[in-house]
Structure 1
């Protein structure tokens, strides 16, 4: 996410969030609170696999800062609403797992603490684009944890059977889709998911999109920018030729298609590799991973989907200790190596590619060390993409409008124009200034 000069504090929203500007726009850095005297307990809410083990490992070696981890429902299934309600009630945990796509939404709700004084010494340990994703107006509101660099996850057995070369460009991807479907009319190279805005955003991210940005005191919405239009038209072409299957993401039918080889690939984030291992176990050993196809041969740019920083919620009495733990979990080699093994998480640190677990082969993927592919991809993630302050509303609009296109007709670009309009309205409804 691009660092935004959020002069939007002038709206009063960021005043509530503690990130308001002063004077001529220079921002006052909040005073760093002294370390607590005596043992403290940092409450932490999240849902990622392996987090409980990370808390236990920390607690064993840090008797003066104990972390109490509570597993909650994932954000979209109620976790975020529980966090926001706790902030309003004054009983929120100090630390919470908040996806990068949702941080701005929490910010405009006044739910985040400025952790810049406690986090600045560790800034150089993270990939610049990952650090930018938790930074607004030069102020850091979260500690990066995992990332979702994208790649091509494919059924090697299906590709081999039909003598399909692994596509390195999107042009080759379209040709492979046609070749496979002609060879087997029941088979498709990919599935298009009308209810997966986040997956689509990763494709747009790679192409150079920047859906949200700020200019002066206003948010700018650009969901129909040139890069996104290119991506929409590309997939529209595949849909028109019926070269991709249409299925809801995460549905039983979707996973069955992968398991049966009916759908032979997906372009997705690194964390999807773990999901497939658990969801389609009968296809173990038949999968492989390659880099995400490029738009221009030899010009590698990668998209990203997901990543859940640990944010310090408003009202935390021990922000220094909360950031100390969060930074340790994200940067300690042993701690994060365990998260790779136990949860399939992918590091955002500059040295993450050298973790022992990154070099290990995974049996589900024919013992290919697949994380090495994503490690290289993480160094080429485009730095320009940004999320806005009303992501849930935009997601709902995407699901509704794109769903209409695949069931009733129209084009993806038509749908995105409607999403653009609803995104603008949703920001205005928050009392924020917005332009297109």
Structure 2
């Protein structure tokens, strides 16, 4: 395979490979699988692993519309909490699933473990179907290693009924957010404007990205790491002030306590990706009609800067798939067919990666979703947020290490009362050490 870099992502992938042994470099261009010929015109059977709730609806739609390929869904644990390890172990054991759901952040990790098939031969004419920056998350060198599914543009879900009852205007800036936090805290001894989710590295990274930080860059033959730069420290200091003044509740989101607080109105905002709509509707159905969605508060009035929750997710074909062509066919259909994308959006998979969303039914009219948000078409907010994401952000190799280090360090800071800034500084040190330990050059 040629090592000529293809745009910024290709260049980054070559830097990842430079410090590793030849067994782990991105040399997996030859097709290790090769489609197995089904006997007696039986359909090719492939497996698909995903953590997205209700994604079986899209799988069923594929199976109903295709006779030559049939897909079996296997539900896995999301991300590095178990699902990714299972996938990598299966590749090493020689019995992988065919198609898997991967976060954009995880694709470099899988590449340095030589765990993905190059599906460029099956996706030659598909790039134009997708938003360019999302398509490029799966392009490294001359190869295509994933088909983008959706991004996670951030917005702020908020209890509009509580804001209105307290006479609070929607916070357009972070300074407004701080002032609103004081009013909300004073209104009820159990009420907070938000939870400080120390358990969610993607949330903390998204806040830093929206604040102007860019933690990783490919420079020459090495990576630069800037986790503790000025932009990040500005964000850390802001949330430190909210913590010090008891204006946010320190609790893990998705925990039982957090669920109860969302249901009761004791936590009245949640900055999260577009997919969080489905979680809110499932977690707090009795609050239907009380929520609304707005853009993220800005650091300067009049700006329009957004970010993502861990970039988004894609469908990738694991190295060793017996049916890579059929797997690539399913991955493309799943993430570009209007019926499928409409299902994915409705179930909370994220903001569609396809470039033309005009035929996505639920983005035009979705009575169930719009009713929950008091009649608001929330997709307008996320369309604007997606367009405002800084697409120069790069995910490094060892993103699972990054997530674990940041979460551990921030949790230790809030447990001991030490500054959040120290947690980001320690994460900088930890990440540089981890990259160097893997033989990846760091400036």
**What TM-score results when the alignment is normalised by the length of structure 2?**
0.89
Q: Deviations over 1:297-329 (max 9, x none)?
A: 222121111422111111223323222211111
Structure 1 range deviating more: 58-67 or 402-411: 58-67
Which residue does 2:3 correspond to in 1? none
Which residue does 2:134 correspond to in 1? 130
**1:364 is aligned to 2:369:** no
Which residue does 2:295 correspond to in 1? 291
Provide the C-alpha distance between the structure 1 equivalents of 2:391 and 2:373, rounded to a whole number of angstroms.
Answer: 29
Residue 41 of structure 1 and its aligned partner are, at CA, apart by 2.4
Among candidates 406, 417, 441, match of residue 433 of structure 1: 441
Among candidates 176, 186, 189, match of residue 182 of structure 1: 186
**1:75 is aligned to 2:79:** yes
**1:348 is aligned to 2:348:** no
C-alpha RMSD over aligned residues: 2.4
Residue 431 of structure 1 and its aligned partner are, at CA, apart by 2.7
Structure 1 range deviating more: 367-376 or 94-103: 367-376
Residue 2 of structure 1 and its aligned partner are, at CA, apart by 5.4
- Paired residue secondary structure (2:109): helix
1:15-34 map, 5 Å:
16-19=24-27
Provide the C-alpha distance between the structure 2 equivalents of 1:205 and 1:401, rounded to a whole number of angstroms.
Answer: 18
Provide the C-alpha distance between the structure 2 equivalents of 1:19 and 1:318, rounded to a whole number of angstroms.
Answer: 20
**1:156 is aligned to 2:164:** no
Among candidates 7, 10, 16, match of residue 14 of structure 2: 7
Structure 1 residues 138 and 410, CA gap change in structure 2 (3 angstroms): farther
Which residue does 2:254 correspond to in 1? 250
Which residue does 2:322 correspond to in 1? 317
Provide the C-alpha distance between the structure 2 equivalents of 1:88 and 1:70, rounded to a whole number of angstroms.
Answer: 19
Provide the C-alpha distance between the structure 2 equivalents of 1:203 and 1:14, rounded to a whole number of angstroms.
Answer: 37
Q: In the alignment, is the contact (CA less than 8 A) between 2:150 and 2:352 conserved in 1?
A: yes
Residue 369 of structure 1 and its aligned partner are, at CA, apart by 2.0
- Paired residue secondary structure (2:45): strand
Structure 1 residues 246 and 353, CA gap change in structure 2 (3 angstroms): farther
Provide the C-alpha distance between the structure 2 equivalents of 1:205 and 1:136, rounded to a whole number of angstroms.
Answer: 23
Which residue does 2:383 correspond to in 1? 375
Provide the C-alpha distance between the structure 2 equivalents of 1:227 and 1:140, rounded to a whole number of angstroms.
Answer: 33
Q: In the alignment, is the contact (CA less than 8 A) between 1:14 and 1:110 conserved in 2?
A: no
Residue 343 of structure 1 and its aligned partner are, at CA, apart by 4.3
Q: In the alignment, is the contact (CA less than 8 A) between 2:26 and 2:114 conserved in 1?
A: yes
Structure 1 range deviating more: 396-405 or 4-13: 4-13
**1:215 is aligned to 2:222:** no
Q: In the alignment, is the contact (CA less than 8 A) between 1:127 and 1:350 conserved in 2?
A: yes
Residue 162 of structure 1 and its aligned partner are, at CA, apart by 0.4
Provide the C-alpha distance between the structure 2 equivalents of 1:200 and 1:338, rounded to a whole number of angstroms.
Answer: 29
**What TM-score results when the alignment is normalised by the length of structure 1?**
0.90
Provide the C-alpha distance between the structure 1 equivalents of 2:235 and 2:121, rounded to a whole number of angstroms.
Answer: 40
Q: In the alignment, is the contact (CA less than 8 A) between 2:216 and 2:223 conserved in 1?
A: yes
Among candidates 330, 336, 345, match of residue 331 of structure 1: 336
Residue 226 of structure 1 and its aligned partner are, at CA, apart by 3.0
Residue 89 of structure 1 and its aligned partner are, at CA, apart by 0.6
Structure 1 range deviating more: 114-123 or 322-331: 114-123
1:51-62 map, 5 Å:
51-62=55-66
Q: In the alignment, is the contact (CA less than 8 A) between 1:33 and 1:320 conserved in 2?
A: no
Q: In the alignment, is the contact (CA less than 8 A) between 1:212 and 1:388 conserved in 2?
A: yes
Residue 19 of structure 1 and its aligned partner are, at CA, apart by 4.0
Residue 34 of structure 1 and its aligned partner are, at CA, apart by 8.7
Structure 2 residue runs without a partner (length 5+): 1-6
Which residue does 1:26 correspond to in 2? none
Provide the C-alpha distance between the structure 1 equivalents of 2:166 and 2:8, rounded to a whole number of angstroms.
Answer: 42
Which residue does 2:67 correspond to in 1? 63
Structure 1 residue runs without a partner (length 5+): 21-28
Structure 1 residues 34 and 258, CA gap change in structure 2 (3 angstroms): closer
Structure 1 residues 237 and 342, CA gap change in structure 2 (3 angstroms): closer
- Paired residue secondary structure (2:308): coil
- Paired residue secondary structure (1:392): helix
Which residue does 1:409 correspond to in 2? 417
